[in-house]
Amino acid sequence: MISQTFTILNPTGFHVRPTKTFVQTASSFPCKVSVLNKGKKVNGKSSLSMLTLGIAMNEEVTLEIDGEQEEQALEALGQLLTAIHE
């Protein structure tokens, strides 16, 4: 298992559109993806679970990834967490 913490840079936080992209990307990897924020840990492959976190700009989010292709998943998902969307 690997983990890394990222800071959300999107001015509107992690709302529906970036969450959808994140979940689609996470689901393309065979590994387990967990997202931790404000003491809550959720399945990173579930849109509903991700939206319950209410992630805002400048909040720190930790990814925990376990299984096949975990390094590739961490890199791809980390980029999505730190991307600035319109």
Residues classed as catalytic: 15
| pLDDT(61) > 90 | yes
41 sits in which H/E element:
strand 40-43
pLDDT digits 0-9 by tens, 15-24: 899 999 999 9
| Nearest-angstrom CA–CA distance, 22 and 47 | 9
| Nearest-angstrom CA–CA distance, 30 and 67 | 7
| Nearest-angstrom CA–CA distance, 81 and 78 | 5
How confident is residue 14, by pLDDT bands cut at 50, 70 and 90?
confident
| Mean pLDDT rounded to a whole number for the chain | 95
Residue 59: partners with Cβ closer than 8 Å, 6 or more residues away = 7, 8, 13, 37, 38
2-82 CATH choice from 1.10.260.40, 3.30.1340.10, 3.30.420.10, 3.40.50.720: 3.30.1340.10
Verdict on whether the full-model pTM lies above 0.85: yes
